[in-house]
Chains A and B, each alone.
Chain A
Amino acid sequence: AQSVSQHNHHVILSEAASLELGCNYSYGGTVNLFWYVQYPGQHLQLLLKYFSGDPLVKGIKGFEAEFIKSKFSFNLRKPSVQWSDTAEYFCAVKPPSGNTGKLIFGQGTTLQVKP
C-alpha cells in the first residue's frame, strides 16, 4: 500500500545538537510535501512545504527540509535545536491524484530536547 514513513519514532537531543528527521513516501508522480509540528496540547501547525522548484525548502523557526526525488525522501533538519522545539513532528504527502488537498500523514516523531 502507498504510504508515508517516518523512521524515527522518538528522538532525544540536548540543546544545540543538530536534528534530522527522516521521511519517505511511496507515491509515484508529482507529490506535494509538508512538515507539521504539534506542540504539547496544541493542534498542528505548518513548518514548511514543497511544491516545486528549489528542493531545499526553508520554513519557520530555523527548520529546513530537502526533497530528494530519487530517494522519495523529504527529511527535516535544524542545525541547532532548542528546548522549545520539544514537540511531535509529522511528515505529510499530498498524493498525485485528485483535486482536493487531502494529506496522508506519517506516524509522527516525538522530539524531546533536554535543556
Chain B
Amino acid sequence: NAGVTQTPKFQVLKTGQSMTLQCAQDMNHNSMYWYRQDPGMGLRLIYYSASEGTTDKGEVPNGYNVSRLNKREFSLRLESAAPSQTSVYFCASSTPRDKGYGYTFGSGTRLTVV
C-alpha cells in the first residue's frame, strides 16, 4: 500500500545513546517532515525538507539532525538522547499547494529515553 513507512515502531534508549529513525514514502512527494507529539502540546515540527537535498529547521530542532537521503527517504538522528526527547515521532510527506497540501503520516515511533 502506498504511504509513509517509519521504523522502528518502539524504541527505548539510555541517556546519551544515539539512534536514527527511518522514514520512507512511495508517493513521489517532494516535501517531507518530522514532528514530535507530546501530551498537551500537539505536534511540533522538528525539521522539514522541501525537496531532495534541502532541509530546514522547524519549531524544535535542538538535539536532532536530519538527512534527506533521496526523494523517498528522510531520516531523523538523535546524537545523544536525553529524557526530554521521550515522545512519539511522526514522519509525514505532502503534496504541493496546487494539490491541496495533502499530508500522509506514518504510524509513528514511540521513543522512551531513560
A residues sitting closer than 8 Å to B (CB atoms) are 4, 6, 9, 32, 34, 42-44, 46, 49, 51, 90, 92, 94, 98-108
Bound-state CA distance A107–B37 (Å) is 9
Bound-state CA distance A9–B51 (Å) is 35
Bound-state CA distance A32–B99 (Å) is 13
B residues sitting closer than 8 Å to A (CB atoms) are 31, 33, 35, 40-45, 48, 50, 56, 58-59, 90, 94-97, 100-103, 105-108
Question: A103, B45: Cβ atoms under 8 Å?
Answer: yes
Q: Considering only CB atoms, which chain B residue lies closest to A38 in the complex?
A: B37
Q: Considering only CB atoms, which chain B residue lies closest to A1 in the complex?
A: B59
Min distance, Cβ A106 to any Cβ of chain B, angstroms: 5
**Chain A-chain B contacts (Cβ-Cβ < 8 Å), number:** 63
Q: Considering only CB atoms, which chain A residue lies closest to B107 in the complex?
A: A43
When distances are taken between beta carbons in the complex, the residues of chain B under 8 Å from A94 are: 101
With contact pairs A43-B107, A46-B102, A100-B48 given, residues A90 and B97 touching in the complex (Cβ less than 8 Å): no
Question: A44, B90: Cβ atoms under 8 Å?
Answer: yes
When distances are taken between beta carbons in the complex, the residues of chain B under 8 Å from A51 are: 100
5 closest Cβ pairs, A-B complex: A101-B101, A101-B94, A105-B42, A105-B43, A43-B105
Question: A105, B44: Cβ atoms under 8 Å?
Answer: yes
Bound-state CA distance A51–B58 (Å) is 22
Q: Considering only CB atoms, which chain A residue lies closest to B105 in the complex?
A: A43
